[in-house]
Structure formats: C-alpha cells, structure tokens
C-alpha cells in the first residue's frame, strides 16, 4: 500500500534527493559535453576565454586527424587488433571455462586463481620482458604481437565470466544428451553452446571494450605500423604545441562506441566489471 | 572416444599454453633480470650477477621508491575511501523508482568505461592554464590561480585524486545499486514489525547483507587504483618533481626511461607480490560467496 502512495505523490525531500543525484550525474557527464563542443570548434574559438557556447561548428579537427593525419590508420589498427584478439580470447577462453564448469580438473582452484592473477597483474610488471622477447621474435610493432597480448589480458575475463554463465546452465541438459548417445564434444557444441550464446556476446563486448581502451602494452610494443588509437592520441601533444582540437576529435571517436556499449549492455555491466563475482 | 577424464584437460590446453608463453615466461624473465645488475646506460656493470642486491637496495636505501609507495598508498586510501562513501551514498539516493532512472544510471557509468588515456587527455585540456574550462571556472569564482593545478607539487596529487574519484565513483555506485536491488524483502518486513528505526535497519540489516559485495567492490578498486598508470602518464608524467610518481609510473620510468633493467625488474616483482596478495583476498571472498549461494 505504502509503495503506491509514494509513486503517486512524492515527498519534497525525495524530489530534492533525486535532484542532487541528477546533479552528480551531470558532473560525471559535463566534461564530455565540453569535449564534443571543442572538437567542433575552430582553432581560434578553442582559445576563446570565456568559453564560447554558441559558435559555427566545423569538422576541420576530424578531417585533420583522420584524413590528413595518421588516425585513420590507427583506427584501422585498433579495429583489426581488437576484433582479432576478442575472437581468439573468446574461442579458447570459452573452452577453458567449460572445462572448469563441467569437468574434474586436478588443482582446478589453483589454476583458476592463476588465470585471475594474469589479469590483475599491472601491465608494467611484464612489459619489459615482453618488450625484449618481442624484439627477439620480431613481433615488435606487428599486429600479431599486440593481438596476442590483448588476448592474454582478456582471456582471464572470458574464463571467469563464461564459467559463471556455464554454471547457470543446468547439468541435466548434458546428462539427457549423453544418455541419448551424443559424445562429449557434440553435447558442448550442439546443446550447451547455443544456450551460452548470450554470455558469449556479453563477454565478447567486454573484451572489445578493454582491448579498445588498452594503453600500456600497445605503447611499449608498437612504434607506428601497429599503433592503436589510444597510443596515437598522446602524439598530438608535441614540442611545438598541442593540437587540442584534434585531441578532442579523436577523444569523441574513441568514446562513442563505448558509450553505445554502456547503454546497450547496461544490464550486464556489473557482472562484467566484477569478473562475474556479482551476478545481475 | 577420449572419455571424460582427458576432455577437461584438453579444453584447457590452448588457454594455458598462451598464458605460459605470455605470462609465465616474461615473469620468469623478470625474476632472472631482478637478480642481475643491468643498466643500459652504465654498460660497465651490465650482466653481473647481483643476487639480492637489487632488492636490498630497493628495501633499504631507495628513498624514491618509498616515496612512490607512500604516495600510492595515500592515493589509494583517499581515493577508494571517498569513492566508496560517494558511490554508496549515490546508490542509496537512487535506490527508488522514478522516470528517467535508467538513462541517469547509464550516463553515470560513462567515465569509467572510457579509455583512461582519453580521460587523461580530456582533463589535461580542462585543466590547461590558458584554455581549460576548470581553470576558467575556478578563476571566475574568484579564487586566484597562479599556476596550472597540475603544475605545482602541492596541488598535482590532489588533482589526480579528484579525477580518479570522478572516474571511479560510478563503479562503486553501480555495484552497490545492483546489491540494493537484489536484497531480499523478508528481513526488512521482520525489522519493521519489530519497530526498528531506519538507521537501525540500515546498520543491522542492509550493511551485513551487503558486506560480501562491499568487500568485492573495495578489493577491485584497490587493485585498480594501485595499477593507476595511464592517467599519470598523460597528465603529469610523475611530476612536477616526483609529486605524482605513483608506483607503476616509477616502475615504468626505471625500466623505460632510465633503462635500469635489473633494478626495474626487482621493483616490478615487489609490485607483483603486493597485487598477488590483494588478488588472493578477492579470490577467497568470491569463492566463499559462491559456496554460500550453492
């Protein structure tokens, strides 16, 4: 009963609280609005103080960064590297997660923990040895090189998330299929995998985002040929000055896909960000 | 038919192979390096076996390292503490139904989903002394600002903290909101029958029920805050002086700027051990939570 009263007529205090919350959310978003505006300003308008709120929007910054500058190349590199590493991490990570979910494995707990440590470990810990190994194996500044490291740090996420998704599929389904005479592999491929598809999509999207955002590995292991979008941005800060307009333009491009992701996969954000520890 | 016995191991092979190649091998490499003198700028000493000399120097003599550890811990405690209070508070505020809630929550989580590099550069623009909007706003409120906020050793670290709080408060908020949504109804009904006050209900029912979730959120934040690198790299490079030289930045500089590889490796090993301990805590908590559920 009380519930209906609250929704039909709100207490003024409650409205005030919601307004406070809305204001905090505004603070979270405001810097982005400013960056979007900045990316559409001319060089002169950017330096205008007080900031101009009304101006003639132009696309010069985008043109300079992506057509005249190297950013279309970096964008392409990012797309190649992120999609390949996601595909790889999902493929082999899903298999491993299935093993943890359905089979008895000697030392499973320890292996599961070890996989997590590869994710939690700061990139700087293995950066230098990787740099040396990559130089020797001629993987330095190659797409394959970056794809492999990105696969590594996404693998742990996939294994942890997918194990949870597999655990949610009732064991009775496997047993029924086994009784029908299907082999272990067929059970996995024909019965379990389709049921786990939503989980796979969610995991893949998280891999894409983390790979898209990853900085330190790509910074250390590339020079130009395989440079990704995040590594390209700091190059706009030069000794002759900073191309603020282009910084803003690239910032918008790097932000938009993630924004869409956050809106679409809203429901799974908590689960993905806590490695499946909190199920929603 | 291969049988159940081997299938599980077979499925694990690709993952473990890749992890061995790209995690264990580099780590063992770092371990070996840490036992040697190897400084690309001082070839005289290079390659000599040093036993634990690097670690001894690190622990006993390197004031710069301890300065880094000190400000990292300070950074971590301040940032995670405030994020928790703000995020939890915000979750309690928004733990009710109203129109536009979904969109509000989606917007709030944007800062933490975006590339840290982009966040760093965005703030670099906003804090720029000549054209930054934050500088402009501070001045227009009437506070005199002689230098950029990131330009003085007094204000640089607190500025980094505020940026981190801005970026990661939504993380705590999102987790706590999910937690509040999943709370069972019965204990609340029972508490109301017993005539408990709102504060008592919060302290004696809500908090204990949310405890595992709070621990998980805090541990994840501690790990991430300890790893903070991208923003420091973009915003201050560890400066001015070494005012914002958080420990990952310190490790990066030792390895890739000073090229003191042997010593850098020992720094990195110490960082790894610390992370390992926190990760183990996280693992224990999540496994316990799983067992409680099942």
Interval A152-170: pLDDT, tens: 889 999 999 999 999 999 9
* pLDDT (average), residues A184-189: 86
- Least CA distance to B3: which residue of chain A? A184
pLDDT at B2 over 70: no
- pLDDT exceeds cutoff 60 at B271: yes
Higher pLDDT, A9 or A58: A58
Q: What is the pLDDT of residues A81-124, one digit of tens each?
A: 999 999 999 999 999 999 999 888 888 888 989 998 888 888 88
Coil vs helix vs strand at B272: helix
Question: Does some domain include residue B3?
Answer: no
Count of domains forming chain B = 1
pLDDT over 60 at A5, yes or no: no
Which range (B32-46, B103-117, B172-186, B234-248) has the least confidence?
A: B32-46
| Cβ atoms within 10 Å of A38's Cβ, excluding its own | 24
Report which of residues B198 and B47 the model is more confident about.
Answer: B198
The confidence score (pLDDT) of residue B3 equals 65
Instruction: Dump strand ranges (E) for chain B.
Output: none
Mean pLDDT, chain A, as a whole number? 86
Task: Give yes or no for a contact between B197 and B266, defined as CB atoms under 8 angstroms apart.
Answer: no
- Confidence (pTM): 0.88
pLDDT at B86: 93
**Which candidate in B115, B120, B128, B165 is best for mutational testing of the A interface (most A CBs within 10 A)?**
B115
Q: Name the pLDDT band for B100 (thresholds 50, 70, 90).
A: confident
Cβ contacts (< 8 Å) between A34 and chain B: which residues? 126, 133
pLDDT of residue B52: 79
* Closest Cα in chain A, distance from residue B199 (Å): 17
Candidate from A134-138, A142-146, B262-266 with smallest mean pLDDT: B262-266
In a domain? residue B20? no
CATH number, position B144? 1.10.3720.10
For range B281-294, the mean pLDDT: 80
The pLDDT score that the predictor gives to residue A203 is 93
Q: What is the pLDDT of residues B21-75, one digit of tens each?
A: 888 898 898 888 888 877 777 776 667 777 777 888 778 888 888 999 999 999 9
A73 vs A220: CA distance, rounded Å: 18
How far is Cα of residue A186 from the mean position of the Cα atoms in its chain? 32
B145 domain-assigned: yes
- B241 to chain A nearest CA, in Å? 20
Q: Are B234 and A232 in contact (CB under 8 A)?
A: no
Share of chain B above pLDDT 70, in %: 96
SS3 B36: strand
Mutate to test the interface with A, among B3, B6, B25, B114 (most CBs of A within 10 A): B114
Banded pLDDT at A208 (limits 50, 70, 90): very high
Query: Does the pLDDT at position A15 exceed 60?
Result: yes
Candidates A32, A120, A254; nearest CB to B115: A254
User: Which among A47, A155, A234 has the least Cβ separation from residue B19?
Assistant: A155
Question: Could you tell me the maximum CA-CA distance found in chain A, to the nearest angstrom?
Answer: 75
Question: What pLDDT is stored for residue A174 in this prediction?
Answer: 85
CA dist., res. B11 & res. B175, Å (int): 32
* Residue B140 counted as domain residue: yes
Mean pLDDT of chain B: 86
Lowest mean pLDDT across A77-86, A123-132, A238-247, B262-271 = A238-247
User: Per residue in B133-151, pLDDT tens?
Assistant: 888 888 888 777 777 788 8
Query: What is the residue range of B204's domain?
Result: 66-259
B46 near B39, Cβ under 8 Å?
yes
- Confidence grade of residue A6 (pLDDT, cut at 50, 70, 90): very low
What are the structural domains, with CATH classification, of chain A?
2-60 (no CATH), 68-273 (1.10.3720.10)
Q: Which residues contact B36 (CB under 8 A, 6 or more apart)?
A: B47, B48, B49, B50, B54, B262
> Least CA distance to B274: which residue of chain A?
A121
What would the 3-class secondary structure string for chain A be? CHHHHHHHCCCHHHHHHHHHHHHHHHHHHHHHHHHHHHHCCCHHHHCCCCCCCCCCCCCHHHHHHHHHCCHHHHHHHHHHHHHHHHHHHHHHHHHHHHHHHHCCCCCHHHHHHHHHHHHHCCHHHHHHHHHHHHHHHCCCCCHHHHHHHHHHHHHHHHHHHHHHHHHHCCHHHHHHHHHCCCCHHHHHHHHHHHHCHHHHHHHHHHHHHHHHHCCHHHHHHCCCCCCCHHHHHHHHEECCEECHHHHHHHHHHHHHHHHHHHHHCHHHHHHHHCCCCCCC
List the single residue in A109, A113, A152 with the smallest CB-CB distance to B19.
Answer: A152
Q: What is the pLDDT of residue A4?
A: 43
pLDDT score at B294: 56
The predicted pLDDT at position B159 comes to 92
Q: What is the pLDDT of residue B45?
A: 65
Chain centroid offset of residue A122 CA: 17
Q: Residue B60: inside a domain, yes or no?
A: no
Taking the Cβ of residue B95 and every Cβ of chain A, the question of whether any pair is shorter than 8 Å is answered with: no
CA distance A61 to B81: 39
Q: Which residues contact B139 (CB under 8 A, 6 or more apart)?
A: B145
The contacts found for A216-219 with CB under 8 angstroms, 24 or more apart, are A216/A123, A216/A124, A216/A127, A216/B229, A216/B230, A216/B252, A217/A123, A217/A127, A217/A130, A217/A146, A217/A149, A217/A150, A217/A153, A218/A81, A218/A146
Q: What's the pLDDT at B293?
A: 62
At residue A177, the pLDDT reads 86
Give the mean pLDDT of B6-35: 88
Structural domain contains residue B242 = yes
Given a contact cutoff of 8 angstroms between Cβ atoms, the answer to whether B176 and B87 are in contact is: yes
Residue B220 lies in a domain: yes
Q: Does residue A1 have a pLDDT over 70?
A: no
For residues A193 and A187, give the distance between their C-alpha atoms in angstroms, rounded to a whole number: 9
Min CA distance, B293 vs chain A (Å)?
11
CA distance B142 to A41: 27
Percentage of chain A beyond pLDDT 90 is 32
Q: Write phi, then psi, for B291 (nearest 5 degrees).
A: -65, -35
The confidence score (pLDDT) of residue A9 equals: 64
Tell me which residue of A48, A62, A61 sits closest to B132, measured CA to CA.
Answer: A48
Which of residues A105 and B160 earns the better pLDDT score? Answer: B160
- Give ∠ CA A35-A40-A44 in degrees, rounded to 5: 100
**B73 with B152: CB under 8 angstroms?**
no
Residue A103: per-residue pLDDT: 87
Residue B240 lies in a domain: yes
């Amino acid at each position: 009963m009380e519930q209906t009263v609250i929704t039909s007529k709100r207490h003024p205090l409650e409205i005030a609280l919601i307004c406070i919350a809305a204001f905090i959310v505004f603070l979270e978003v405001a810097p982005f609005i400013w960056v979007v505006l900045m990316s559409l300003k001319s060089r002169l308008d950017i330096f205008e103080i007080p900031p101009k709120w009304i101006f003639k929007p132009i696309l010069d910054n985008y043109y300079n960064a992506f057509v005249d500058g190297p950013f279309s190349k970096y964008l392409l590199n990012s797309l190649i590297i992120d999609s390949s590493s996601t595909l790889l991490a999902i493929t082999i990570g899903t298999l491993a997660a299935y093993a943890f979910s359905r089979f008895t494995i000697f030392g499973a707990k320890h292996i599961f923990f070890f996989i997590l440590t590869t994710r939690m470990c700061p990139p700087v810990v293995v950066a230098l040895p990787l740099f040396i190994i990559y130089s020797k194996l001629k993987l330095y500044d190659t797409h394959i090189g970056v794809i492999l490291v990105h696969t590594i740090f996404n693998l742990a996420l996939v294994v942890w998330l997918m194990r949870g998704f597999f655990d949610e599929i009732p064991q009775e389904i496997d047993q029924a299929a086994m009784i029908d005479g299907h082999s272990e592999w067929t059970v996995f491929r024909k019965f379990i995998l389709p049921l786990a598809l939503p989980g796979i999509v969610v995991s893949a999207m998280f891999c894409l985002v983390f790979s898209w955002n990853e900085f330190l590995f790509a910074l250390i292991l590339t020079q130009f040929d395989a440079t990704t979008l995040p590594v390209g941005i700091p190059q706009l800060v030069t000794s002759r000055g900073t191309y603020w307009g282009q910084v803003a333009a690239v910032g918008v491009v790097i932000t938009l896909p993630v924004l869409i992701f956050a809106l679409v996969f809203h429901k799974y954000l908590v689960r993905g960000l806590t490695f499946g520890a909190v199920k929603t | 038919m291969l049988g159940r016995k081997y299938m599980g191991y077979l499925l694990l092979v690709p993952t473990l192979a890749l992890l061995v190649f790209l995690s264990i091998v580099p780590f063992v490499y770092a371990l070996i390096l840490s036992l040697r003198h190897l400084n690309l700028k001082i070839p005289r000493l290079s390659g000599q076996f040093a036993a634990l000399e690097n670690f001894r120097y690190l622990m006993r003599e390197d004031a710069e390292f301890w300065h880094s550890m000190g400000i990292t811990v300070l950074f971590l405690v301040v940032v995670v503490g405030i994020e928790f209070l703000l995020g939890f508070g915000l979750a309690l505020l928004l733990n009710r139904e109203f129109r536009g809630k979904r969109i509000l929550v989606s917007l709030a989580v944007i800062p933490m989903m975006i590339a840290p590099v982009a966040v760093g550069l965005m703030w670099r623009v906003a804090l720029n002394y000549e054209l930054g909007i934050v500088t402009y706003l501070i001045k227009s409120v009437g506070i005199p600002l002689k230098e950029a906020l990131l330009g003085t050793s007094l204000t640089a670290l607190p500025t980094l903290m505020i940026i981190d709080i801005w970026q990661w408060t939504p993380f705590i908020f999102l987790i706590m909101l999910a937690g509040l949504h999943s709370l069972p109804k019965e204990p609340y009904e029972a508490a109301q029958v017993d005539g408990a006050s709102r504060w008592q209900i919060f302290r004696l029912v809500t908090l204990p029920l949310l405890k595992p979730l709070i621990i998980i959120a805090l541990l994840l934040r501690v790990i991430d805050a300890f790893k903070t690198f991208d923003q420091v790299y973009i915003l201050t490079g560890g400066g001015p002086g070494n005012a914002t030289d958080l420990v990952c930045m310190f490790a990066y500089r030792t390895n890739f700027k000073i090229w003191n590889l042997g010593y850098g490796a020992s720094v990195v090993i110490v960082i790894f051990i610390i992370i390992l301990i926190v990760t183990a805590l996280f693992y224990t908590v999540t496994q316990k939570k799983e067992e409680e559920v099942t």
